[in-house]
Chain A
């Protein structure tokens, strides 16, 4: 039982501290799992890579840490810790914002968030792109995706699945 609380609190700590982009917390997750002796760096790197193979949030891989430490209950505890408290914060903030009326200066202040949000989207693109673009083919895939997204001709998951297919096909042709 103790280990479940441990998992919950540690990932709640990670979740609550992850501002902007949860990916920035990965060094901290690595530090935590080493301190607790839950797994080594090599296993964590493998788990992280496995997380990229399934759909959904990049942070979903942390349930595999819980699973390795304490089985299915551990996975649930880690997942609840990572996503539960922050969802509760969103819920509370949403309720407070909904039931208040705002003075004009608050609206003015808040409108300044728009460029920050767009800047952060560009930052995520940059972080994801680091170490990715090692050939011209990937640059083309990226450029076509930008066009298709702006024009909204194909659904977002369709674009990504198509890219995966083309990437696999290209590797297959290259190896044969």
Chain B
């Protein structure tokens, strides 16, 4: 008799072994060719979850690192996942596979696109795409929030961070250190009920 968690871990491990360079290129190439309207990190995480490459906790750890390091989050994610499954070669091909479809499309069709951006139908499609992308980010945020320990406190803290960064436009690096120190102090106060976090 196995607990669900163990089965999940076994599945994840067997997947880890099977992800070849070819699969990496296919996965990131597909997302790179279909993720319209930006929001690529949300597309990537949603696909990681759907294909069981990563679970919610791993997605969160991935985003922790990739959002806080400089650069485009989606490319950071591709580099990290490529490295995790296929080492240096994976770290090179995964971001390339993610970026090339869009880059080639841009360079080949820039003459057509410039007339397209003025079409009302395209603008209608674009605003609907933007609205859906907002929903995609919110959906991924909700999924990750549901997987976190201490949901209510986490929601409270992330709401404060949202208000500071989103509405008052406080630079992100200024937010990180105080939040980490507060969390650290909070954990120290509650030493008995520390939750285990792996990296």
Chain A residues within CB distance 8 Å of chain B: 15-22, 46, 49-61, 63-64, 67, 72, 75, 79, 82-83, 85-87, 89-91, 93-95, 97, 102, 105, 107-129, 132-134, 137-139, 141-150, 152, 155-157, 159-168, 170-172, 174-175
Contact = CB atoms under 8 A, between A and B. Distances in A.
A79 B72 CA distance: 12
B72 A170 contact: no
Given A54-B106, A118-B145, A161-B36, 7 more contacts: A16-B70, A50-B113, A61-B106, A107-B197, A113-B176, A114-B64, A167-B129
- Which range contains the number of B residues in contact with the other chain? 35 or more
B124 A170 contact: yes
Given A150-B143, A159-B136, A167 B127 contact: yes
Contacts of B101: 55-56
Given A59-B72, A60-B99, A163 B33 contact: no
A161 to B, nearest CB: 7
Contact of A123 (B140, B162, B176): B162
Closest 6 CB pairs of A and B: A167-B128, A149-B139, A86-B71, A56-B102, A145-B135, A171-B124
Nearest to A63: B103
Given A116-B68, A118-B141, A163-B129, A156 B136 contact: yes
A171 B38 contact: no
Given A109-B184, A171-B121, A57 B132 contact: no
B17 interface: no
Contact of A54 (B113, B125, B128): B113
Interface in B40-86: 40, 42-43, 46-47, 49-50, 60, 63-76, 79-80, 83-84
A94 B159 CA distance: 29
Contacts of A116: 64, 68, 157-158, 161, 175-176, 179
Chain B at the A interface: mostly helix, strand, loop or mixed?
A: helix
B26 interface: no
Contact of B71 (A18, A102, A156, A161): A18
Query: Interface of chain A, helix or strand or loop or mixed?
Result: helix
6 contacts: A57-B98, A82-B72, A97-B199, A124-B39, A142-B135, A145-B139
Given A112-B184, A119-B158, A152-B50, A94 B75 contact: no
Contact of A139 (B33, B121, B131): B131
B90 to A, nearest CB: 10
A90 B74 contact: no
A133 B131 contact: yes
A164 B67 CA distance: 27
Contacts of B153: 115
B14 interface: no
B161 A119 contact: yes
